[in-house]
Amino acid sequence: MADNNLVKVFAAEDFNPEKFVKELSAQCIGADELRQQRAKIQELANNTSAQLKRNVYQNYMQFIETAKEISHLESEMYQLSQLLSEQRALLSMLGSTRTAGVVFEDLSQQENSANSVSKEEEQKQKLIQLIENVEGALSLAETPGRICLHEGSLLELDPIEGTPLKRIHAYLFNDVLMIASWLANGGRRGPPRYKMQAVYNLESLAIVNVRDHGTVKLAFKLLAFSDTRVFQCPTATSKKEWLDKCEQAKRAKLAEENSTDNAPDNDKHPKEDKAAPSRSMSLDSNTLGMDDDDDSEYHEPPPEWVLEVAEDLDSCIAQRHFEEAYSLLEKAKVYLKDAQPIPLLTEIQTKVNDRGRSLVNVLTKELESSAEAKSLQGGGLRSARRTVKLLIKLNRSAQACHLYLRLCSAVLKARLKRIKRESTTMAYVKQLSAIAFSNIVEIAREFLKTFPQSANCTSGLIVWCSQEVKHLTSHLAEQLFVPQITLSVLVECIVAVRGHCDQLTQLGMDFRYQLDGQIRSPLAKAIQDAGESCVDTMKRHVAEDTWRPTNLETSQNLQKLLSELDELGIGVPSSYATNDCWIPLTHNTLTFSKIYISLLEDCLSVAIPELMSTIDNALVSVMRVEVQHLIVSLTDPKLKQERKLVQNNAAYVRDIIIARGMELYKSVTNQKFTKLLTLKEQIVFESPSPTKPKPAPRTSIPKYSTTEYL
């Protein structure tokens, strides 16, 4: 009872939840009564939910039963329609028989007339029965003499991609072809229902056989003005029937037109059974329908492959058979060039030109996508050669060259990205330079293979190589010309980069001048800074020079020093040697000798005509500090006791160090070092011995064996 009261309260139109809760709270005493009311409301909610579910289920079952009844009713209505159609046809036949009357003298003529009328009515009824399941097609039955030659279900395909689109049902009449689409809401128990989609006149229609290719099999093409459709048959027999029936219908239609035009002549001459050539373009018949009597306007029909060349080109391009597409394109161009100009061939020529442009666009996008790929494998250039050669054959050499060089840049960039800077700057620069120039040489060779005997493209390659060398040199300069890099490391890296750059001379391209020109300014600055650093170092050593011979403490140390100096080409004369561990050269002289020869070799290793002035100034400035120190020491009265030691050091610098410097300078520049010779002449003193000190014979191999610039 309480539940019924709650239901009435909740079902009231003026039900207010807030007011109900307040009243309920006022009536209940304590939490227990509130919990009881809550339990009742929850129970009511559960019961209501279960009842709703049962109602939904019952409604759904009733819906299913109603649908079944409707389906049965539809089937019965279809059967009733069939019965009514038969009854109507029977009544029509009986009525025509009664109206004919019974006239004995014209019995034969009346029977023939009745048979003719009954035959036409019968054909009309059959046609009505055939197309009564096609919405919007009953008007086709009004045309006298129209009969259905063939019908069947087909699968429509996309004309370009060849993918299935939808199922259709086709009706071939003696004068038209009707295409009907399946209705999604057709009867599930009765026969299928269709909706008329299109009607094509056989006079302006061509049926083209489609050769089996890939997934497209057992298909034929329907060509009408501004419309191209492809249909797939379920079996080979069905396809043959369709092609044969279409051929027969077109022949019969053409023969009927000819017989109508020649009706007066046929009264005198028997009609000849001549089958005119069909306008259908299929494998069995490749000729266009023409009158045999019009010899003056007769043109030999084009072969079948020409009629299908546009579709074949689309198929080849879609399946990425580019070589086959190019061969077919050239074959079609040759044929169309020599063929007689007729409207059909003019249309085919336009299609062929469009397909040619489409092929160029596809090949161009192929190269562009390759250049923009995130990961380029080593065979990227070789795989692109196929596409590039096709573009060259299509007279797109400049475009192919531009895109191919873009691809080359992408390949080179991808390969250089793999080099990680995990070691010293010298090792990184040498590795980067070696890989970069070897790849540039490899790419250039591949380019020359791809574009043989093409002057314009070769000039493009030279410009590309120049740009890549420029970018590489800029990157290497950022790594090398920093304060932390010494001149020796810098020179060794530059010599290595120059050697790698010389690899391009194998292909007839010399970029040494560009490389040297790009690093000339920072290299000159580095040489100048190195010379100033050496001057500062020597000034400190000169200030600290105490004019004492050097004690090497052990004979091993002495031999090590002598070997080191001998390798530099400034060996100590044998007259200076003693039996102990002393050598009559000061620490300042030995330090200067090593610093100067090292600076000299570094400068001459990177010597170019544009840098010679900077190199001369650096070498002369360092030598001038030492020469001035020797001149002052030779005339200093405070050094009377060390006079012989000073003279020995002066003789070593003048006759060994300066002589070695002039020798190396001339071997590289093929010129005399006049500024250094002037400094040598400033060192004048009386020799303590009548014989001039001679340097010890060198056993090391000279570092420079040529008189040409590096």
Would you state the pLDDT for residue 709? 39
Confidence grade of residue 499 (pLDDT, cut at 50, 70, 90): very high
pLDDT of 527 over the 90 cut: yes
Cβ neighbour number for residue 142 with a 10 Å cutoff = 10
Question: Domain count of the chain?
Answer: 4
Based on the fold, state whether residues 505 and 533 are members of the same structural domain.
Answer: no
Would you state the pLDDT for residue 374? 53
Based on the fold, state whether residues 191 and 224 are members of the same structural domain.
Answer: yes
> What CATH number is associated with residue 220?
2.30.29.30
Q: Which of 408-417, 578-587, 619-628 has the lowest mean pLDDT?
A: 578-587
Average pLDDT (509-520) is 92
pLDDT of 82 over the 90 cut: no
Closest CA to 604 of 658, 663, 532: 663
Final residue in a domain of this structure, among 502, 517, 532:
517
Residue 84 domain flag: no
Contact 219, 232 (CB under 8 A): yes
Answer with the residue of higher pLDDT: 579 or 154: 154
Answer with the residue of higher pLDDT: 531 or 25: 531
In which domain, by residue range, is 181 found? 136-258
Final residue in a domain of this structure, among 467, 499, 517:
517
What would the two tokens of residue 5 be? 């009261």
Sequential DSSP letters for 218-264: SEEEEEETTEEEEEE-SSHHHHHHHHHHHHHHHHHHHHHHHHHHTHH
Final residue in a domain of this structure, among 258, 275, 290:
258
Q: Which of 2-11, 242-251, 499-508 has the lowest mean pLDDT?
A: 2-11
Based on the fold, state whether residues 319 and 459 are members of the same structural domain.
Answer: yes
Mapped onto helix, strand or coil, the DSSP state of residue 224 is strand
Confidence grade of residue 166 (pLDDT, cut at 50, 70, 90): confident
What would the two tokens of residue 637 be? 């009265």
Based on the fold, state whether residues 539 and 591 are members of the same structural domain.
Answer: yes
Based on the fold, state whether residues 418 and 479 are members of the same structural domain.
Answer: yes
Average pLDDT (522-531) is 94
Question: Within 13 A of 627's CA, how many CA atoms are on the CB side?
Answer: 21
pLDDT of 61 over the 70 cut: yes
Would you state the pLDDT for residue 433? 93
Would you state the pLDDT for residue 667? 92
Contacts 24+ apart (CB under 8 A), 113-119: 118/93
Closest CA to 121 of 147, 143, 91, 89: 89
Closest CA to 523 of 706, 710, 708: 710
On average, the pLDDT of the chain sits at 81
Average pLDDT (456-477) is 92
Would you state the pLDDT for residue 210? 85
Based on the fold, state whether residues 530 and 627 are members of the same structural domain.
Answer: yes
Confidence grade of residue 666 (pLDDT, cut at 50, 70, 90): very high
Output the 3-class SS for 270-315.
CCCCCCCCCCCCCCCCCCCCCCCCCCCCCCCCCCHHHHCHHHHHHH
Q: What are the pLDDT digits (tens) for 333-349?
A: 888 888 877 888 888 88
Say if strands 134-135 and 194-201 run parallel, antiparallel, or are unpaired.
parallel
pTM: 0.55
Based on the fold, state whether residues 330 and 447 are members of the same structural domain.
Answer: yes
Contact 199, 178 (CB under 8 A): yes
What is the distance between the alpha carbons of residues 406 and 136, in angstroms, rounded to a whole number? 59
What is the distance between the alpha carbons of residues 366 and 387, in angstroms, rounded to a whole number? 8
> What CATH number is associated with residue 584?
1.10.357
What is the distance between the alpha carbons of residues 306 and 328, in angstroms, rounded to a whole number? 10
Q: 383 vs 387, 412, 556, 658, CA distance in Å?
A: 8, 15, 64, 60
Would you state the pLDDT for residue 454? 78
What would the two tokens of residue 103 be? 């006239």
Based on the fold, state whether residues 611 and 672 are members of the same structural domain.
Answer: yes
What is the distance between the alpha carbons of residues 476 and 474, in angstroms, rounded to a whole number? 6
Residue 687 domain flag: no
Average pLDDT (554-568) is 88
Based on the fold, state whether residues 502 and 531 are members of the same structural domain.
Answer: no
Based on the fold, state whether residues 438 and 394 are members of the same structural domain.
Answer: yes
Based on the fold, state whether residues 245 and 317 are members of the same structural domain.
Answer: no
Q: What are the pLDDT digits (tens) for 255-301?
A: 877 776 555 444 444 434 433 344 344 333 333 333 334 444 445 67
Sequential DSSP letters for 576-595: G--SSSEESS-HHHHHHHHH
Residue 538 domain flag: yes
Answer with the residue of higher pLDDT: 264 or 477: 477
Would you state the pLDDT for residue 456? 82
Contact 367, 387 (CB under 8 A): yes
- 670 sits in the region (left: phi over 0; alpha: psi -120 to 50; else beta) called left
Q: What are the pLDDT digits (tens) for 177-203?
A: 889 888 765 445 556 678 888 888 887
What is the distance between the alpha carbons of residues 693 and 690, in angstroms, rounded to a whole number? 9
Answer with the residue of higher pLDDT: 669 or 105: 669
Based on the fold, state whether residues 498 and 369 are members of the same structural domain.
Answer: yes
pLDDT of 467 over the 90 cut: yes
